[in-house]
Amino acid sequence: MSRKTTIYDIARYLKISPASVSYVINGVDKVSKETKERVLAAIKELGYSKDTNAVYLSTGKSNTVALFLPSDDLSIAFSQNPFYGEFLGSFIKRIQRKGFDLLIEPLIESKDFSKWLRGKNLRGIITLGKFPLDYFKAIKSLDIPCVLVDVYEDYASEYTTLRINDSDGSYMATEYLINNGHKDIAFLAGNIETSEIDNRRYLGYKAALKDYGIELKEEYIFKAEATFDGGLKASKDIMENKNITALVCAADILAMGVMKGYYLENKRIPDDLSIIGFDDINSAELVSPALTTIKQDIMEKGRLASKLLIDSLLSNDTSIKHLVIQPTLIERESVKKIN
């Protein structure tokens, strides 16, 4: 069996210091562009692969970061909401480029979470969505970099956060419908009472109606499980109100479920209902008619989340940052202009 290539082999091959090779492998910006390119070429030529066990033994630190998703069943989360897959695809690409391993974990309702967490010897953590306060108390005790994505609770102020301007997005969606002649505009979300994200998107909808002098009607507010099936079921209730001409959805996946429900009843989008989503998942452009939606740039969100964590891991910068992404309106085919 041939001996495994080490950073010392690469250093001797290039006649540079092992430290310079280590800087390149670990993403530390302390070498010239030319040296970096030479090291990367030698890594490929000599077949070097990073030994994470050796890193742990020599430094006492693992190279594993964890991504926690707000679901107790990841198979359901990924199959029912494409948002997670798109975010993960962008996030993991950059994490692995920097030589880190990724552990993806569900919401674990367990009294032993603190013990479990300490046993993993994690280098850093990303949480996506809302988790119990006990989670964050346990994470805080580890004193490792942590980035919170789409978390709005008070405790989030103690961590680096990444969010989207949810209320602005829903305001834009509602305003777009109003500008297309609609006044009887309904709103569909998961749960505006328990989900801060849904609540903020509801508040944007509510503010737009108020600014344009349109009455907010409680019978126009609908709640459903934030899945395709949830939207499908909600479509029946929406159809029963004959006055509704347009619908703002708090997620694309809900909007697509509603569109399916209307199709099954031989109704047409946007002739029988104008509809606008939120997220701009990849399939929003593929459905027929193509879904007008609010784009939160999920790929960019994954990239920024990984950058925030990597910057904390590879530098001595421990400052807390709060980034907010501004959404944009993507106009497609699911909204009809009326008089």
- Answer whether residue 105 shows pLDDT above 60: yes
| Long-range own/partner contacts, residues 27-31 (CB < 8 A, 24 or more apart) | 27/97, 27/98, 27/99, 27/310, 27/314, 28/314
More confident residue, 332 or 314: 332
Residue 131 domain flag: yes
Query: In 299-313, which positions are buried (b, 16+ CB within 10 angstroms) versus exposed (e)?
Result: eebbbbbbbbbbebb
Residue 43 domain flag: yes
Same domain, 267 and 191: yes
Q: What is the pLDDT of residues 289-308, one digit of tens each?
A: 999 999 999 999 999 999 99
Residue 13 domain flag: yes
- Answer whether residue 57 shows pLDDT above 50: no
Q: What is the pLDDT of residues 12-56, one digit of tens each?
A: 888 888 778 877 876 667 788 888 889 888 888 887 766 554 444
Give residue 35's domain range. Answer: 7-49
- What span, in angstroms and rounded, lies between the C-alpha atoms of 115 and 303? 30
Residue 140 domain flag: yes
Residue 186 domain flag: yes
Q: What pLDDT is attached to residue 155?
A: 81
Same domain, 135 and 176: no
Same domain, 191 and 279: yes
More confident residue, 73 or 86: 86
In this prediction the pTM is: 0.78
- The confidence band for 253, taking pLDDT boundaries of 50, 70 and 90, is very high
Q: What pLDDT is attached to residue 233?
A: 96
Same domain, 178 and 290: yes
Q: Taking residues 87-112, what's their average pLDDT?
A: 80
More confident residue, 92 or 285: 285
Same domain, 149 and 222: no
Residue 59 domain flag: no
Same domain, 155 and 247: no
Same domain, 267 and 250: yes
Q: Taking residues 225-243, what's their average pLDDT?
A: 94
**161 Ramachandran zone, left/alpha/beta (phi>0; psi -120 to 50):** beta
CATH code of residue 103 = 3.40.50.2300
**Cα dihedral sign for 118, 124, 128, 132?**
positive
Same domain, 232 and 285: yes
Q: What is the mean pLDDT of the chain?
A: 87
DSSP string, 266-328: T--TTTT-EEEEEE--GGGGTSSSPPEEEE--HHHHHHHHHHHHHHHHHSS-----EEEEPPE
Q: Answer for the pair 67, 28: CB distance below 8 angstroms, yes or no.
A: no
Same domain, 144 and 127: yes
CATH code of residue 33 = 1.10.260.40
Q: Answer for the pair 238, 224: CB distance below 8 angstroms, yes or no.
A: no
- Answer whether residue 180 shows pLDDT above 70: yes
Q: What pLDDT is attached to residue 51?
A: 57
Count of structural domains, the chain: 3
Q: What pLDDT is attached to residue 56?
A: 46
Same domain, 43 and 159: no
Q: Answer for the pair 184, 170: CB distance below 8 angstroms, yes or no.
A: no
Residue 278 domain flag: yes
Residue 118 domain flag: yes
Q: What is the pLDDT of residues 209-222, one digit of tens each?
A: 999 999 999 999 99
Same domain, 25 and 71: no
